[in-house]
Structure 1
Amino acid sequence: MALSTSQVMAEYIKRAGVPFVFGYPGTSNIEFMEGARVRGIDTVLARREATAAFMAEGLAMATGLPGVCISTLGPGSSALVNGVAAANLDRVPMIAISGQIGSAREPYFTHQVLDHNQLFAPITKWAGRVEAASVGTVMRKALRLATAERPGAVHLTTHADTAGREADDDVVLPPLHAGVAAPEVRASEPGLDPIAVLRDARRPVVLAGVAALRAGAGTALVQLAGGAGIPLVVSPMAKGVVPEDGEWFAGVLDMACNQVVWDLLGQADVILAVGFDPVELIKPWQVPARVIHVDAVPNTDQVYRADIEIVGAIGPAVQWFAEECAGVGYWRHDEVAAHRDRLRDAYYTGRVAGRLNPTDVVDVVRASVPRETIVTTDVGSHKLLVGQGWTTYEPRTSLMSNGLSSMGFALPGAIGAKLAAPERPVVCTVGDGGFAMVQGELRLAAALRLGMVVVVFVDGSLNRIELKQLRLGYPSTATRIERTDLVRLAESMDCYGVRATSRAELENALAASPIAGLDRPLLIEAAVDPAQYESQF
């Protein structure tokens, strides 16, 4: 029996291993949702399209699989934009599918009609169109593009008169699992040898990024750092690529206490940039050290100048350095330990005695959950503290948007992660501003019986912007948030809710509701004193 266009699409999504599709239904995507349903793929009804994309992104971050989200035409497709752009800049594979009016009317009809190509082409790797005559080919291209280095978002348009049409191109092939090419050395000068450059260094530092996490290069990085005595700094979205309790771990770039980390990089004479993606840089690159670029893609960004590029499989390249430089001993243990002490002291700067400080929240919540817990982090002042202070031990367990850095990611991202990994504890950390953007999704999490913890850092402010206003001598303008009783809000959405105004109250709340026993979300309204933010940033 011939497959319809939507059935071919759904079959490709199934063979890619995707267990959930997130979205909001409309006439144009009914056929696709049914095709997914009969293939065992659940469609999760988000409360709006933007959060559906964030759920898909959270699932993709936690698993490495493509995230899939859907919308209807017009306002549905435009609402999808922010989440799709986030996935693209966060380097997360995503297939976003929007319906469209019938193809015959599209050239002249205006009601709810937007040009999807113009809308999505600037924020995706590709904006394509699904046709019955080429659906199989288009789906292969979409999946290959979304998952190829660097990963990102692909948007597909399906017209109302195409979705149910019998497919002419109905061949469904298994997903391609292509190996990465062997590392190739490219140097600015003939004969410039990367091993010689590193061996001749006195103070090298490794800077590992999210591509190293995707490549599974953690074991090789640990061997290199430990065997040669090199401090290892990670980018925020690479948290977990190496265990952060290791003796050579040296902190997270551009999060809290960022100057301490930049000072360490400033001492380096060679930086081995392993899978580091400049999309995560918040501060400009001002390090004079020579850079060896190791990545699956060339250094086309040119945010930093690299004299040597090693392009190809990241893990084998790092392993090569580990074997050739073993036993050199560039840094002493006590030097790196002293750096970590400075980082820790800076992290706790500005604490107010007798109040619930933001670092108290990070410390108490981290101590109350297992090592393998997945944490999602929203954007705001709290993100910088969670990014530096939340100890991460495994890849894909610390999830944040740090490419687009979009507020509103953490709660829907946690829902996607929890659905993808139901056996894992999941904690969402979010500010009261970011939570206000997406709080309706709490009801979805309760309906799905997701036993996760949602920690809201409540300071009544869009703190990052308010601090900048105050430093300029301006009054707080459009940065104050009215207080909401989040405990009552949680209870109205069939969630558990508690309020904590002190460290002891927070500890008691978590002890009384251990995450392992939750049958629905626990929302913690953590009323923090924002004074520590001012001293940190």
Structure 2
Amino acid sequence: MADKKRGSQALIKSMINQDIKYVFGIPGAKVDQLFEDLQYSDQPNAPQLIVTRHEQNAAFIAQGIGRLTGKPGVVATTSGPGVSNLVTGLMTATAEGDPVIGLGGQVPRDDLARLTHQSIPSKELMSVAAKSSVEVQDANNLSEAFTNAYNTATSGKAGATFISLPSDVLSDNVERPEMAPLAKSERTQTSPTTLNKVIDMIKNAKLPVILAGMRASSQEVTESLHKLLEKVALPVVETYQGAGVISHELIDDYFGRVGLFRNQIGDTLLKQSDLVIAVGYDPVEYEARNWNVEHNDQIINIDSISPELTVDYQPDVVIEADIAGTLDALTDALPADYKLSTETVHQLTELRQVFDRQNEVKTTAKPGTIHPIDIVNELQKKVDDNTTVTVDVGSHYIWMARHFRIYRPRHLLFSNGMQTLGVSLPWAIAAKLVRPNEKVVSVSGDGGFLFSGQELETAVRLNLNIVQLIWDDGYYDMVKFQEEAKYGKNAGVKLGKVNFVKYAESFGATGLRATNPDELSQALDQAFNANGPVIIDIPVDYSDNIKLKSALLKDILN
């Protein structure tokens, strides 16, 4: 007879079988058996338990793990408010296609129908935030529940899954064996007939443009995209989550990113195109009603999932198959002598000249502050292709998305599905765990930083050299400048002053301040060579924010 084990031990063994490296969260009475068994597990390769300062931030870190690795990050919390604090994190992961598994403690089974301490309908609550939400009623089902949660989190459009765990289920004995590691799915291929139709559409188009979205940013898909572009030079526009799919070697094919306001070079190119090839594009990133106002002549949708159809997005060809495999087949099938016309190449060259001048504008800032372009340019000088940069939501987010260059996928992270405040530092913690030998930079505003700034203690405890930039202006500025554009005045956006240098020091981190580009350059050098996390407080002059909405095309305030 097999050795007896508790439900929590079977759950841990299931995590090991699916190669889970970390569990993030906060303990409590309804989930303490799992935390005890994680902390003192004698199982080789048991996940490392990392306690955070807030459940929402634990979910964000797990989301960061999911985005960076393609494998679910795991977050565990206690019942009641422990579970409800996961909602924003799981909702963000689901919207933005990042695999996460949420584990929520629950009252014992015989208390589920009673008004007892911390009893809430967790499964029902999470059904609107996650792809799937289940409650385990028998310890023998734990391994199956976890493995199915893993499979659901990674299949189709990735996202969050949730498992409610009554405390007595975690402590009950288990008799069944654990589920084995999941087998890798086989690549699916598009039909030759469809592939030939796509080839004809590309050959007959005057200006075909690739729109690379969130599901184009996996390493596998990016490599296949590179092979295609090495054979055929086609212009590429990235979404924010597609950032980095274009390498240094293919930079002539890069025409910027699109998102938020319809006034970028990429928007101009999409408008002029008579064939948009959408690769791994998700409408939550940038709705077609923004970039496809004039309704392009033709659209090809290449994705691993079926697209959402609207009056603004009705592709002429839909390929629902393995994206990398489809791009490989397309590369093989395209004629070797295919190339864009001389007229189109000239058109793209003129557009590129305008695009390349964007970062070279002359800037002026008030004394004691730094212009956003200067912050971006100083940071650009200090990073390399292996650096991971996580970006919170705010005015800085728009400047970074438009002007900061990155040449590897999933090395510049944005929340552009939910635009959730507070993600940057938790994502940076995830990045430093996944990529311990590479530089990691977190970029936040002074408003968004304090949504999750308490996790600076987690970074200090783990001795993670994360460089946290805070663009400091004393406002929720992304709201402020849009209110002023719409109403001529602002409301409800003013913040109080915070000494972020002392804030950093109070956590045992290093605190620096930079008030001009030279000071920022020196501070970045010091920060990257420091032991542990560093905050750099940067007073920013956002006077030029109105240029963020200046229209190359008719602007759409979001």
Same fold (TM over 0.5): yes
**2:173 equivalent in structure 1:** 166
| Contact 1:88 1:125 (8 Å CA) reproduced | yes
Classify 1:415/1:215 alpha carbon distance in 2 versus 1 (closer, same or farther; 3 Å): closer
How far, CA to CA, are the matches of 1:378 and 1:185 in structure 2? 43
Cα distance, 1:337 vs structure 2: 4.0
**2:302 equivalent in structure 1:** 294
The alignment covers a number of residue pairs equal to 532
**2:553 equivalent in structure 1:** none
**1:91 equivalent in structure 2:** 97
| Contact 1:252 1:387 (8 Å CA) reproduced | yes
| Contact 1:274 1:294 (8 Å CA) reproduced | yes
Gaps of 5+ in 2: 550-558
Q: Residue type matched to 1:535 in 2?
A: K
Cα distance, 1:398 vs structure 2: 1.4
User: Match for 1:21 among 14, 20, 23?
Assistant: 23
**2:159 equivalent in structure 1:** 152
Classify 1:215/1:300 alpha carbon distance in 2 versus 1 (closer, same or farther; 3 Å): farther
Classify 1:353/1:462 alpha carbon distance in 2 versus 1 (closer, same or farther; 3 Å): closer
**1:253 equivalent in structure 2:** 258
- Match runs of 1:266-415 below 5 Å: 266-281=271-286, 284=290, 285-286=292-293, 287-302=295-310, 304-323=313-332, 324-330=334-340, 335-346=347-358, 351-353=363-365, 355-415=369-429
1:437 matched to 2:446? The reply is no
| Contact 1:229 1:329 (8 Å CA) reproduced | yes
Cα distance, 1:477 vs structure 2: 1.9
Cα distance, 1:300 vs structure 2: 3.4
Classify 1:486/1:256 alpha carbon distance in 2 versus 1 (closer, same or farther; 3 Å): farther
Cα distance, 1:73 vs structure 2: 0.6
1:229 matched to 2:233? The reply is yes
| Contact 1:270 1:289 (8 Å CA) reproduced | yes
How far, CA to CA, are the matches of 1:294 and 1:159 in structure 2? 42
| Contact 2:94 2:159 (8 Å CA) reproduced | yes
How far, CA to CA, are the matches of 1:171 and 1:52 in structure 2? 26
1:200 matched to 2:210? The reply is no
**2:552 equivalent in structure 1:** none
How far, CA to CA, are the matches of 1:301 and 1:216 in structure 2? 26
RMSD: 2.1
**2:10 equivalent in structure 1:** 8
| Contact 2:365 2:541 (8 Å CA) reproduced | no
Q: Residue type matched to 2:537 in 1?
A: E
1:102 matched to 2:108? The reply is yes
Gaps of 5+ in 1: none
State the TM-score, normalizing by the size of structure 1.
0.94
Cα distance, 1:266 vs structure 2: 0.8
Cα distance, 1:33 vs structure 2: 2.2
| Contact 2:76 2:102 (8 Å CA) reproduced | yes
| SS of aligned partner of 2:470 | strand
Cα distance, 1:422 vs structure 2: 0.8
1:239 matched to 2:243? The reply is yes
**1:525 equivalent in structure 2:** 537
| Contact 2:188 2:325 (8 Å CA) reproduced | no
Cα distance, 1:447 vs structure 2: 1.5
How far, CA to CA, are the matches of 1:532 and 1:325 in structure 2? 47
| SS of aligned partner of 2:495 | coil
| Contact 1:352 1:532 (8 Å CA) reproduced | no
CA shift digits 1:260-307 (9 cap, x unpaired):
211111111111111111110156332423001111112234451111
| Contact 2:358 2:403 (8 Å CA) reproduced | no
Classify 1:463/1:301 alpha carbon distance in 2 versus 1 (closer, same or farther; 3 Å): same
| Contact 2:276 2:296 (8 Å CA) reproduced | no
Cα distance, 1:229 vs structure 2: 2.5
Answer with 390-399 or 142-151: which moved more. 390-399
Q: Residue type matched to 1:300 in 2?
A: E
Cα distance, 1:124 vs structure 2: 0.8
| Contact 1:137 1:169 (8 Å CA) reproduced | no
